[in-house]
Structure formats: C-alpha cells, structure tokens
A and B are shown apart, each in its own frame.
Chain A
C-alpha cells in the first residue's frame, strides 16, 4: 500500500481554470504538507497543516488553498491557474509537528498549464 498517494499524477489544463490535487496518507501521521518543485528543481514548502493549525508560506498566492476533510487527507485547490503554476507538486506527511523522523513524500503531481 502506498503510504502517501497523490492524484492525479499528471494534470494538463488551460490558463484560468480551477483544479484540485488530492493527497491521502495511510500512515496515521498528524501533519501534512504541500511542496512545489519548479523547473530548476527547487523544493519550496507551500503549506503545513495538522488538526491544530494551517501554516501558509507567505510567498504562496492566495489562489492556492489547502483543504483537509480529515486527518488523512490534504487536498490542494488552485484557482485561476497561471503559466507560472506549472511545476511538480508533492504532498508529504510526518508524525507530529517536528522534523524528527523525517517526512514521507508522495510521488508528485506534474501540473502543466497551457
């Protein structure tokens, strides 16, 4: 069973559309994250979320919004997609809210905005 699963794996869409990426973890972890990896391969954290609080990276446009229906899911909604949103988006999870034990990442969603 995949520990952290994301869907879809690939997403091609037009500018201006609204799309969502789903993430589920079956590890029983408390905290989930979204990372963006751009064409230069830099991994940047976008959000971290547990049942206590949502922490947003201040550089993330408000067109991006995480939504968590329950502890095992953290979906990413993106409104009014722009060309610059093209990237690979990774979901991750961890036990607790510290770095101890490391993160478990999903396999990524490659978003292409045309």
Chain B
C-alpha cells in the first residue's frame, strides 16, 4: 500500500482558498486517491475521490498530476466549520491506511 505524506498542520482565514497537498510517490496503477475530513469526536467523512486529472464536487476539488505521485485537495472559500483534520489515502483494497492527516485551522 502506498504511503502518503501531508503537512501536519495548516492555518487559514475565512473566505480563503486552501490547498492541501499529499505526496504518494509509490502509488500503484490501480490505486485511487481519497480524501476524508474528520471533526473532533466524529468519524472521518468521505470528501472526494479521484484517479487522475481533476475531480470536483460540491465540497472540494481534487487535482492529480499526470504522474499521480501527488494530489492536492482544494477547499474554496473556507469557513470556520472547515476546521478539521484532512486525511489523504491511497489504495485500491479494503484495507485503507490512514496517515497522520493535516490539521486545518480556520481563523475568523
């Protein structure tokens, strides 16, 4: 299973766009890239998933370069409620490994 590396923490202000980059140099051909969000005292919540290029949904965008060795989660115009831990996962099996995640703090 591919290992992922993300920044431990990031700070932002309300209304800004936040980009969290994840490195996964050993990603395999069949691996998907998935991002989860976790609030305190809650379980992780699926945000977005992609295989290559760009994926967008109502919550975020996911940018994946051609070599797929990294990916960037983009959160447009964050609000205080986006303060959470964001996990990047890479895999294609039912044994997804969570890394340390990125703790995003949004300030007013």
Q: Which residues of A contact B (CB under 8 A)?
A: 4, 31, 33, 35, 41-45, 48, 50, 55, 57, 90, 92, 94, 97-108
Q: Is the CB of A43 within 8 A of B92?
A: no
A11 to B89 Cα, complex, angstroms: 29
Q: Is the CB of A103 within 8 A of B96?
A: yes
Of B31, B87, B89, B93, which is within 8 A of A97 by CB? B93
Q: Is the CB of B32 within 8 A of A55?
A: no
A92 to B85 Cα, complex, angstroms: 18
CB distance from A82 to the nearest CB of B (A): 23
Which A residues are CB-close (under 8 A) to B91? 99
Q: Is the CB of A105 within 8 A of B43?
A: yes
Which B residues are CB-close (under 8 A) to A107? 41-43
Q: Is the CB of B94 within 8 A of A31?
A: yes
Q: Is the CB of B43 within 8 A of A92?
A: yes
Helix, strand, loop or mixed for chain B's interface? loop
Question: Given the known A-B contacts A41-B85, A90-B43, A106-B43, are A101 and B49 also in contact in the complex, defined by CB atoms under 8 Å?
Answer: yes
Task: Please encode chain B, from 77 to 107, with 1 for each CB lying within 8 Å of some chain A CB and 0 for all others.
Answer: 0000000010101011111111011000000
A106 to B49 Cα, complex, angstroms: 19
Which A residues are CB-close (under 8 A) to B32? 99-100
Nearest neighbor of A6 in chain B, beta-carbon distance: B43
Other A-B pairs, 16, CB within 8 Å; known A92-B43, A99-B34: A31-B94, A41-B101, A42-B98, A44-B98, A45-B97, A48-B94, A48-B95, A55-B95, A57-B95, A94-B94, A99-B91, A102-B46, A102-B49, A103-B44, A105-B43, A108-B43
Q: Is the CB of A97 within 8 A of B94?
A: yes
Report the 3 A-B pairs with minimum CB-CB distance, sorted nearest first: A105-B43, A102-B46, A43-B98
Which A residues are CB-close (under 8 A) to B92? 98-100
Q: Is the CB of A102 within 8 A of B34?
A: yes
Question: Given the known A-B contacts A48-B95, A97-B93, are A105 and B101 also in contact in the complex, defined by CB atoms under 8 Å?
Answer: no
